[in-house]
Amino acid sequence: MKEISCKLLVMGAGPGGYVCAIRAGQLGVDTVIVEAGKPGGTCLNVGCIPSKALIHAAEEFEKVSHMEGGNSPLGISVTAPTLDLARTVAWKDGIVSRLNSGVAGLLKKAGVKTVHGWAMFRDGKTVAVETETGSQVIRAETIVIATGSAPVDLSFLPFGGPVISSTEALALNEVPQKLAVVGGGYIGLELGMAFAKMGAEVTVVEALPRVLAQYDAELTRPVVKRLNALGVEVMLGAKAKGLSTKGDALLVETSDGKNAKVAADRILVTVGRKPVTEGWGLEQIDLDRAGKFIRIDDQCRTSMRGIFAIGDVTGEPMLAHRAMAQGEMVAEIIAGHKRSWDKRSIPAVCFTDPELVTAGLSPEEAKALGGEIKIGMFPFAANGRAMTKLGEDGFVRVVARADNHLVLGIQAVGQGVSELAAAFGLALEMGARLEDIAGTIHAHPTQGEGFQEAALKALGHALHI
Ligand code: FAD
């Protein structure tokens, strides 16, 4: 059996793991990364990137579909557009494959050795990897666990046949005629809306009384309106119960306790993601857990000396950029740098239509701190750029302390607001006050002006409303 030693071993080459390995390599740390699948992990292969490619294609298709028959207010007319999903998926696969090579190249450039195979802990310093050419043992001074997450499956609705997870949904060759989505969280709605735009009849079954329940109702209202406009049926307070005997319908218990059948040729289950904590020898090292996740401190150290954990396997928020930020920080700590972690300004984006962005505290969370707060909101209906994009529905909202105007949180809903996430994150990271945002000259005409106006509104003197 082949044996190698290194200073750092990273388990898993998702956004957390590969960023950690690249940064460690740049800092001269002798690093090996082990990956069972393709570089880039969930995010690049079956998550962020492929879903955004599909969402974009669906958006474009819907736009041109509305232009049929000369009804578009833009004065553009087209004849009967069609969508070949197999070609869309091939295009998406091409992007993924280019990025796979990109990540592999970056690892190589940083001097990181990549081992392909499944890694299993033997003890706290040794990992065995089953590769295509045989077994390999890797001894490392430090190990970073970055094994990510996988879709949660329901015992009464197991994956297989018509029941699919987001992974299969991103690789369909044909648009389902009738799609049932179990779970109205961000993944279910992002994909459900995309398929509705591509022509599927979509029903969302959500057990809670609201979709996107982690956001406040004011923020999600434009998304709910759009779901209605797209003809997506949303069953709230409804529980999925199983698959019909013929496999052609989802069995549901409605909010008033009645049994219902939702006809569907595909049932997409998006009820959450679970950490990948099995199959890699966690039992050999006995790390502390926080529920299903691996417990970490503010520097991503686990309960065992020399073992760090980052990304989805460590809990919420399960976001690629959080995993990357943790990966970079851990690499620097391992290289001897002083680093700390402040999760206050991790933005979160939901790529529904319209998009949602949040950074920092919501109004409710800010109120819960006890002090007085100021809230400024600016609607895109008063923003020229939004009007030129037919994107008037939505707003930017800024939440700040009333006493010293320190910005505590920023939220937005609207077409394309994902691009404002960087400005929101920067404002929080820099400890901006309302006056800093209000005093920043924003380019005209852009939706970013809504951010400045929301801060001005909180100060009591918005200019365009
Ligand atoms: P992962 O990306 O899950 O990577 C873990 C890697 O470890 C995998 O490649 C796996 O093969 C490998 N691995 C596991 N165990 C072993 C082992 N024992 N040996 C070898 N290799 C192993 N996040 C966003 O921020 N923005 C988005 O827009 C977004 N969209 C998403 C859309 C969908 C449909 C999904 C499913 C997720 C989305 N996410 C998004 C979440 C994002 O993908 C995850 O937060 C991110 O991938 C987590 O990174 P990670 O490095 O922790 O783990």
Question: Which residue's CA is minimally distant from atom 41 of ligand 1?
Answer: 319
**Eight-class DSSP state of 200:** -
CA of 93 relative to ligand 1 center, distance in Å: 17
List b or e across 270-303, with b for residues whose CB sees 16 or more CB atoms inside 10 angstroms.
Answer: bbebbbbbeebbbeebebeeeeebbebeeebbbe
Q: Which residues are annotated as a binding site for FAD?
A: 52, 147-149, 312, 318-321
Among protein residues, the one with the nearest Cα to ligand 1's atom 27 is: 48
**Which residues of the chain fall below pLDDT 70?**
none
**How far, in Å, is the centroid of ligand 1 from the Cα of 224?**
28
Confidence (pTM): 0.97
Nearest CA to ligand 1 atom 30: 48
Among 409, 388, 405, smallest CA distance to 451 is for 409
Q: Please tell me what DSSP assigns to residue 301.
A: B
Q: Ligand 1: which residues within 6 Å by Cβ?
A: 11-17, 34-37, 41-43, 47-48, 51, 118-119, 146-149, 166, 187, 276, 280, 311-312, 318-321, 323, 351
> What is the whole-number distance in angstroms between the Cα of residue 50 and the centre of ligand 1?
12
User: What does the pLDDT read at residue 292?
Assistant: 94
Q: What is the DSSP string of 434-454?
A: HHHHHTS---TT-TTHHHHHH
Going by C-alpha positions, the residue among 363, 370, 424 that lies closest to residue 216 is 363
- The residues that bridge with 268 in the sheet, in sequence order, are 164, 181
* Rounded (5°) CA angle 194-251-216: 50
Is 358 exposed, middle or buried, given 0-12, 13-18 or 19+ CB atoms closer than 10 A? buried
* Cα-only R_g, the chain: 24
* pLDDT for residue 345: 85
| Digit-coded pLDDT (tens) for 385-439 | 999 999 999 999 999 999 999 999 999 999 999 999 999 999 999 999 999 999 9
pLDDT of residue 183: 98
Q: Whose CA is nearest to atom 26 of ligand 1?
A: 48
The token duo for 238 is 């409804």
How crowded is the C-beta side of 233, counted as CA atoms within 13 Å? 13
d(CA 436, CA 420): 16
pLDDT at 341: 82
Binding residues for NAD(+): 183-190, 206, 272
* Cα 347 to Cα 210, 362, 407, 410, 422, distances in angstroms: 22, 12, 14, 9, 8
Cα of 315 vs centre of ligand 1, distance in Å, is 12
Q: Residue 2 in contact with residue 113, Cβ under 8 Å?
A: no
Specify the pLDDT at position 446: 98
Tell me the CA–centroid distance for residue 277 and ligand 1, in Å: 13
DSSP one-letter code for 382: G
Rounded-to-integer distance, Cα 203 and Cα 183, Å: 10
Catalytic center residues: 444
> d(Cα 399, Cα 79) in Å, to the nearest integer?
46
Please choose from 19, 43, 45, 283 the residue to mutate so as to test ligand 1's pocket, defined by most ligand atoms within 8 A of CB.
Answer: 43
- The predicted pLDDT at position 227 comes to 98
